[in-house]
Homo-oligomer: A and B are copies of this chain.
Amino acid sequence: MPGDSTAYIAARGPRIEEALEAAMPPAGVLPGPLHEAMRYSLFAGGKRIRPLLVLASAEAVGGDPESVLPVACAAELIHTYSLIHDDLPSMDDSALRRGRPTCHVVFGEALAILAGDALHALAFELAAQTAERAGAAATLRAIQEIAAAIGTQGMVGGQVLDLLAEGRPSLGRFGSWPADRRQGVYLVHRWKTAALIRACVRSGAILSGAAAAQIADLTACGEHLGLAFQIVDDILDETGDSGVPDKLTFPYAFGIERSRAIAQEETGLAIAALAGWGASADVLRGLAHTLLVREG
């Protein structure tokens, strides 16, 4: 049984926060309200799972976490942009996130949309800086990984399928989706959440000069880990206060008990993908376990 990753998170977390802080526009430059909105959502108590996975994956293949930090932070900026846009009135219409009013509630819809757009662009500007330490070719590969993971067959595509599955009236003319709820929820979660998490795990290794066989193992690890992560999120939403009953979720498609079992299976598969790896993969194994047993 892998240990937890508390020590790793304590060791790397502050460096990630510092790098995110350094990546943001300095105080006092125009346009102040935009920067305020970006910071409001970026520094809102996020767990920094995606940057931690980039770093842990780099370290698993003998890379230097400091060298992959810009791509790690880019993944967090992208995650933050997606949360801001998902919360908008025309999407999930969420007034609260992590117990605080959402970005559009505080700053208005226009600034929220633009804060998301600015974080999205800044992510790629930042990711390109990784070349200084990791080289141009590997950095471009990481940029392509991440861009593909958040596009029409990834994060954004998953959000669209999620909205279609809800049967929003405004989308009615496009017909209903999916035909099979259990197949549908797998596809939505793979695209909406697992694709970026898998890209994070792959990118950390790509930027560290990993071999193809290592990247193949990490691809499987990231895919299962990303799916497990979203299933656990679904379960926490269902059992917590913020239940969203009519969304395409694992508990709704499979029931809570079966969902718990699937999350455990997927975590097991993520760890099994690294079966041939030594102690260098302990941090990734620990993170997979920690993400399964978390309570928030």
Q: Could you list which residues of chain A lie within 8 angstroms of chain B, going by C-beta atoms?
A: 25, 29-35, 38, 85, 88, 90-91, 108-111, 113-114, 116-118, 120-122, 124-125, 128-129, 131, 135-137, 139-140, 143-144, 147-148, 150-157, 159-161, 163-164, 168, 170-171, 174, 177, 187
Note all chain B residues with C-beta closer than 8 A to A151.
118, 121-122, 125
A31 touches B160 (CB 8 A): yes
Note all chain B residues with C-beta closer than 8 A to A88.
109-110, 113
Q: Are A121 and B140 also in contact (CB < 8 A) when A168-B110, A170-B110 are?
A: no
Closest to A109 in B: B90
Q: Are A85 and B117 also in contact (CB < 8 A) when A34-B157, A157-B34, A160-B31 are?
A: yes
Can you list 20 A-B contacts (CB < 8 A)?
A29-B153, A30-B157, A31-B160, A32-B174, A34-B156, A35-B152, A38-B152, A90-B108, A90-B110, A91-B110, A110-B163, A110-B170, A111-B160, A111-B163, A111-B171, A114-B160, A121-B151, A121-B154, A124-B147, A131-B137
Q: Are A121 and B147 also in contact (CB < 8 A) when A140-B136, A159-B114 are?
A: yes
B152 touches A118 (CB 8 A): yes
Nearest-neighbour CB distance to chain B for A191, whole angstroms, equals 9
Q: How many chain copies? A: 2
Complex CA distance for A108 and B160, rounded to whole angstroms: 12
Complex CA distance for A38 and B157, rounded to whole angstroms: 12
B148 touches A125 (CB 8 A): yes
A152 touches B110 (CB 8 A): no
Nearest-neighbour CB distance to chain B for A42, whole angstroms, equals 13
Note all chain B residues with C-beta closer than 8 A to A159.
114
B168 touches A108 (CB 8 A): yes
Note all chain B residues with C-beta closer than 8 A to A163.
110-111, 114
Please tell me which one of the listed residues B116, B136, B155 contacts residue A137 in the complex, with CB atoms under 8 A apart.
Answer: B136
Note all chain B residues with C-beta closer than 8 A to A25.
152-153
A113 touches B113 (CB 8 A): yes
Note all chain B residues with C-beta closer than 8 A to A143.
124, 128, 143
Note all chain B residues with C-beta closer than 8 A to A174.
32-33
Closest to A91 in B: B110
Note all chain B residues with C-beta closer than 8 A to A91.
110, 113
Note all chain B residues with C-beta closer than 8 A to A90.
108-110, 113
Note all chain B residues with C-beta closer than 8 A to A177.
31
Closest to A170 in B: B108
B131 touches A140 (CB 8 A): yes
Closest to A124 in B: B147
